[in-house]
């Protein structure tokens, strides 16, 4: 039986709501109750083991009741259960990749070499005393020239955000996308005014900086992602909404998760050793930190 047929059959037994009653309320409360019944059945299954002879039969029955209420709610909301199921599978596929990633062509393929993100490059984060006595982080290229301005954490509390350019470098490495890295390395696609403005311009840079600040706030509440293997779906969905109009929108939530975790692994090393050298390999999508 497919979901569409099931929903059509299930709603034939759905009772009309009483006058003045929210038509969603009864099936919603029913779903909550059946989830509780399912939990109780499983508790008995765990407690009694083989002695609970009707365990799987009862679990099947409770799951069936849960499914009925889901079908009823889907109907009350004017949705199609078949469509709900299909959309959920797409969401899961986006989040939990079970097959090898289909690599997309680099976003800057076809552009002049000097406008492409370098496929292999090395940069160094160096703590330096500024004229006003503050310690700033200077990011330099292989030839020793600076990449961007010296950075502080711009906070009353030193929390290591002065190393946050590593997040942009991780985006470039894993996603092949980072308007901030293009700016830092002088790789904006100026030969195409539309790409230069829409993909590499100020708005795209502000969005990526916003993502870095948003994720940092999340990471600060999760031990800066030490020993964390997965990022909350809500955060990844927010990033997806923020970048929906940009070329990076073709990347999946799993790609963003990998980019974030890669960036924070490198960030913790830079923070703990107060600097270091970072090698980017965009072909292999790896980022390696060498201690200073």
Do 43 and 132 belong to one domain? no
What is the rounded distance in angstroms from the CA atom of residue 143 to the CA atom of residue 225? 32
Do 88 and 176 belong to one domain? no
Do 274 and 134 belong to one domain? yes
Final residue before a domain boundary, out of 64, 95, 126:
95
Do 260 and 129 belong to one domain? yes
Mean confidence (pLDDT) of the chain: 92
pLDDT above 60 for 64: yes
How many separate domains does the chain show? 2
Do 187 and 257 belong to one domain? yes
Residue with the bigger pLDDT between 20 and 100: it is 20
What pLDDT sits at residue 77?
95
Do 28 and 129 belong to one domain? no
Within a domain: 194: yes
For residue 69, the Cα-to-chain-centroid distance in whole angstroms is: 31
pLDDT above 90 for 101: no
Cβ neighbours of residue 269 closer than 8 Å, sequence gap 6 or more: 276, 289, 291
pTM passes above 0.85: no
Lowest-pLDDT choice from 39-48, 65-74, 164-173 = 39-48
What pLDDT sits at residue 50?
73
Do 73 and 186 belong to one domain? no
Question: The domain containing residue 245 runs over which residues?
Answer: 113-290
Do 75 and 119 belong to one domain? no
Do 217 and 119 belong to one domain? yes
Q: How many CB atoms lie within 10 A of CB 108?
A: 21
Contacts 24+ apart (CB under 8 A), 142-150: 147/123, 147/184, 147/185, 148/183, 148/184
Final residue before a domain boundary, out of 95, 127, 161:
95
Do 36 and 178 belong to one domain? no
What is the rounded distance in angstroms from the CA atom of residue 265 to the CA atom of residue 226? 8
The 10s digit of each residue's pLDDT in 227-259 is 999 999 999 999 999 999 999 999 999 999 999
Distances (CA, A) of 143 to 122, 146, 287: 10, 9, 19
For residue 98, what pLDDT band results from cuts at 50, 70 and 90?
low
Within a domain: 234: yes
For residue 160, what pLDDT band results from cuts at 50, 70 and 90?
very high
In terms of DSSP bridges, do strands 120-129 and 276-281 run parallel, antiparallel, or are they unpaired? antiparallel
Within a domain: 101: no
Return the HEC string of the chain. CCHHHHHHHHHHHCCCCCCCCCCCHHHHHHHHHHHHHHHHHHHHHHHHHHHCCCHHHHHHHHHHHHHHHHHHHHHHCCCCHHHHHHHHHHHHHHHCCCCCCCCCCCCCCCCCHHHCCCCEEEEEEEEEECCCCCEEEEEECCCCCECCCCECCCCCCCCCHHHCHHHHHHHHHHHCCCHHHHHHHCCCCCCCHHHHHHCCCHHHHHHHHHHHHHHHHHHHCCHHHCCCCCCCHHHHHHHHHHCCCCHHHHCCHHHHHHHHHHHHHHHHHHHHCCCEEEEEECCCCEEEEECC
Using alpha carbons, select from 30, 17, 21, 38 the residue that is nearest to residue 69. Answer: 30
pLDDT above 90 for 124: yes
Within a domain: 100: no
Final residue before a domain boundary, out of 95, 126, 142:
95
Mean pLDDT of 13-21: 90
What pLDDT sits at residue 102?
57
pLDDT above 70 for 97: no
What pLDDT sits at residue 105?
82
Within a domain: 156: yes
Mean pLDDT of 93-114: 77
Do 71 and 172 belong to one domain? no
What pLDDT sits at residue 99?
53
Within a domain: 103: no
The 10s digit of each residue's pLDDT in 168-226 is 999 999 999 999 999 999 999 999 999 999 999 999 999 999 999 999 999 999 999 99
Do 208 and 168 belong to one domain? yes
Contact 81, 71 (CB under 8 A): yes
CATH number of the domain to which 54 belongs: 1.10.287.1080
Residue bearing tokens 């393929």: 109
Query: What count of Cα atoms within 13 Å lies in the side-chain half-sphere of residue 14?
Result: 25
């Amino acid at each position: 039986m497919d979901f569409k047929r099931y929903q059509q059959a299930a709603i034939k037994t759905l009772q009309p709501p009483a006058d003045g009653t929210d038509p969603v309320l009864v099936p919603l409360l029913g779903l909550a109750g059946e989830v509780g019944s399912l939990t109780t059945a499983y508790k008995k299954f765990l407690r009694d083991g083989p002695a609970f002879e009707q365990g799987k039969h009862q679990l099947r029955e409770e799951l069936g009741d849960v499914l009925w209420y889901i079908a009823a709610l889907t109907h009350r909301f004017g949705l199609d259960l078949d469509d709900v199921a299909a959309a959920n599978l797409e969401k899961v596929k986006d989040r939990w990749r079970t097959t090898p990633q289909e690599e997309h062509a680099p976003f800057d393929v076809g552009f002049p070499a000097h406008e492409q993100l370098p496929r292999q490059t090395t940069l160094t984060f160096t703590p330096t005393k500024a004229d006003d006595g503050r310690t700033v982080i200077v990011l330099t290229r292989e030839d020793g020239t600076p990449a961007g301005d010296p950075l502080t954490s711009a906070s009353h509390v030193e929390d290591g955000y002065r190393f946050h350019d590593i997040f942009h470098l991780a985006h470039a490495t894993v996603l092949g996308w980072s308007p901030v890295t293009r700016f830092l390395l002088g790789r904006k696609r100026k030969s195409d005014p539309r790409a230069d403005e829409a993909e590499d311009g100020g708005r795209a840079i502000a969005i990526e900086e916003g993502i870095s600040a948003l994720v940092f706030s999340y990471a600060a509440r999760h031990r800066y992602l030490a020993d964390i293997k997965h990022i909350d779906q809500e955060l990844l969905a927010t990033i997806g909404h923020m970048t929906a109009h940009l070329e990076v929108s073709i990347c999946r939530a799993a790609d963003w998760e990998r980019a974030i975790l890669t960036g924070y692994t490198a960030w913790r090393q830079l923070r703990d050793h107060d600097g270091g050298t970072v090698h980017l390999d965009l072909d292999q999508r790896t980022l390696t930190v060498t201690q200073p």
